[in-house]
Chain A
Amino acid sequence: MLSLSRCTARSISLRALRAHHTQRPPLNSVTEHDLAHFAKFLDPPAILSTLPPVSLPADELDQFNNDWMGKYHGSSTTVLKPKTTQQVSEIVKWCNERCIGIVPQGGNTGLVGGSVPVKDEVILSLANMNKVRSFDPVSGILVADAGCILQSLTDYVAPHNHIMPIDLGAKGSCQIGGNVATNAGGLRLLRYGSLHGTVLGLEVVLPDGTILDQLTTLRKDNTGYDLKQLFIGAEGTLGVITGVSILTPPAPQASNNVILALPSFKNVLPLYEIVKRQLSEILSAFEFIDRTAYDLAVKHGQGRALSDQEVEGAECFVLVETSGGRREHDEEKLADLLESLLEAEKPLINTGVLAQSPAQFASLWALREGVTEAVSKEGKPYKYDISVPLSTFQEVVDGTREHLRSKGLLGDHAVKHVIGYGHVGDGNLHLNIVAESYTPEIQDALEPYVYEVVASHRGSVSAEHGIGAMKTHALHYSKSDVSIAWMKKIKDLFDPHGIMNPGKVLE
């Protein structure tokens, strides 16, 4: 009880402080006393802790404390793996009363340090909430626990001829709840739009433990404020998503893909226009990989490489995917496009390859999807996931490389590669700087440089990966003071004790 009153006292004094946007006082650490409480409603395997009586060695928690890139490191003592929404609610309620920080964790594939603690917050893993609740093959509406892995949901709806509206390289590990929490974009956004449109409802445990059940399966529901939208992209700072209702589109009956080799980046934009016009409704992805990114993907075994002849003289590559309802129709359209591209007077492409089988289809995609993984195998990546005008993609990549060169940081001793790839169709560039190791010099050379470049193009400092712990200080490059002030008000309203994913999104 002692701890409770301490927490209440703090929140009262906070109220006065908050008007001045002062930092909240530090949160409490988890104690044995807390573990004893959790043990009342959680099975023993659901509590992983270095504290007695569980007393696991610290390295058992490594996979939860460290992020996918090995860049962010938390020092949490305790991971909880509830199985039900009720259990999540009880955990959150207790932590709120005790002022213990909580980091909701999905597949821990986030790329901005949002999924690991900044200090020793409790990690609330959704991994054990992994059941499909319902699927209606007529409407295509899927309701699932937040901890369901994206790939397993794809497999679940496949026999019913549906696909998930979202797809990304991390699909084998990331969870639908994590996707929603980060408002992940991915490879199908061009065709199926963002999760703000495809998510129909959410079940969320609010920071005081209340269960907000908005798990509707209605496509249309204009009944006042659409609260669920706040949690999409909130990165776990407003509550824990426990259930997701999502609209899955019918599976396309035919899919094809090609990789086109371009002599110059300048051709990407005119190519995009032609491809859009000629393929119209069957165009489902238009992805860009620069030469260095391609070479890294090949070097690290992501998909079968094109022949030397085909890559010769290519400055960058574009992957085009079509999905449609009739194979013959789609193939004809695609063949017409490719023929006109090859036979053009001033061809925009050098050459290209067309998948001849599902295996090749997958292999071509692997060259694009595998870039993220290849970059991590090559070295320590600094990842900037930005929205800038398409016409400036190359300029941003080359500019960054030159900037690093001018600082003497380009070379095997510091930055090995500066690469660009991304979702051209969405104006989203992934600018990756692959370094030998993470160092303050490189960090200082990159920031605020990159953010200033983005701001000069009126772009976004985070197109799809979110803010996490990485970009809190850079939020102002893309959001006005007024926007940030209202975001803070919303945060305070939902989470007055500041327990939900502290240190993330807002400073």
Chain B
Amino acid sequence: MRPSPVRLLNILVPVKRAVDYAVKIRVNPQQTGFDLNVKHSMNPFDEIAVEEAIRIRERLKDAVKSIKAVTIGPPKALDTLRTALAMGADSSIHVEIPESAPSPEPLAVAKTLQEIIKRQKDGVDLVILGKQSIDDDLGMTGQMLAGLLGWPQATFASKVDIDVAKKEAVVTREIDGGGEEIRCRLPLIVTTDLRLNEPRYASLPNIMKAKKKPVEKFSPGDLGIDYTPRFETLKVAEPPQRVGGGKVQDVDELVAKLKEAGITAA
């Protein structure tokens, strides 16, 4: 489809503003969700995705033409884009939804990304996403996007090697009890696992530069995407409180307590 021989890589990195993982989550009194009035930051798996894109550029140098970050979120999600830009992304897209809107569901997000990819003049060769976002833990956006686009997917990546000339990637995936190495053709969807890399800090000069990097804005209407939720949340509740243990005086008491709790020797 794209016959140019010196094909350069264009990388898209979707990032999400999520409640920071260091914050203690509190369920709201109405039990409809949790308290969002807390510190947010970039979803850690997305941070790994941005880092990986930058490392690919550091390895492949000029063969990487662009790294673009995209977020779907409220006005404050702009901070998350700025972080991605400060880490080293070149430009960004903000699909802005109202502050009070519920967090979009994976299918809607995947459709948004599909639409954005369609609109990129130079095309997209590699999408690197977090394997899940730590707020709703759904873990399916990358797979859905691969399905919609009909592209190969390499999920739970712990190592990514790109061969631009061959238009191929060798990806190590985290699987139960070890790793699985797969070879895929570009364009490709990669979702990141924790061991892929350790994201860098944003350096001061780069933070300053990031302020001047472009942010293209869309509304859901511009892209023709409907964010009406398909799921209905019935109730959100805290896990049951752990009840503290007690001390026993001797073995007899212990045995008695165990019997009381219905535990007997087999």
Contacts and interface: CB of A to CB of B under 8 A. Distances in A.
A27 B266 CA distance: 57
A157 to B, nearest CB: 14
Interface in A291-311: 304, 306-307, 309-310
Q: Which of under 10, 10 to 19, 20 to 34, or 35 or more describes the interface residues of A?
A: 20 to 34
26 contacts: A258-B204, A304-B198, A304-B201, A306-B201, A307-B200, A310-B201, A310-B203, A342-B205, A351-B204, A351-B205, A352-B204, A353-B204, A354-B201, A354-B204, A356-B41, A356-B83, A356-B86, A357-B41, A357-B42, A358-B20, A358-B41, A359-B22, A359-B41, A359-B44, A360-B201, A364-B201
A355 interface: yes
A341 B207 CA distance: 13
A356 B199 CA distance: 11
B63 interface: no
Nearest to A258: B204
Contacts of B44: 359
Contact of B22 (A351, A352, A358): A358
Q: Which of under 10, 10 to 19, 20 to 34, or 35 or more describes the interface residues of B?
A: 10 to 19
Given A339-B208, A342-B208, A359 B202 contact: no
Given A304-B198, A342-B208, A359-B44, A353 B203 contact: yes
B39 A351 contact: no
A310 B206 CA distance: 11
Interface in B6-35: 20-23
Given A356-B41, A358-B41, A342 B22 contact: no
Interface centre among B44, B198, B201, B205 (most CB of A within 10 A): B201
Interface in B196-231: 198, 200-205, 207-208
B20 A359 contact: yes
A338 interface: yes
A378 B177 CA distance: 34
B203 A352 contact: yes
Contacts of A230: none
Nearest to A310: B203
B154 to A, nearest CB: 26
Contacts of B39: 357-358
A289 to B, nearest CB: 16
A56 interface: no
Nearest to A352: B204
What 10 A-B pairs come out closest when comparing CB atoms? A357-B41, A353-B201, A358-B22, A352-B204, A356-B83, A358-B20, A359-B22, A338-B204, A353-B203, A357-B20
Contacts of A307: 200-201, 203
Contacts of B86: 356
A362 interface: yes
A354 B87 CA distance: 11
Contacts of A338: 204, 207-208
B24 to A, nearest CB: 8
Contacts of A339: 208
A315 to B, nearest CB: 18
Given A304-B201, A359-B44, A354 B207 contact: yes
Contacts of B22: 357-359, 362
B260 to A, nearest CB: 23
A342 B204 contact: yes
Contacts of A356: 41-42, 83, 86, 201-202
B10 to A, nearest CB: 25
Contacts of A352: 203-204
Interface in B43-97: 44, 83, 86
A309 B22 CA distance: 28
Contacts of A349: 204
Nearest to B26: A159
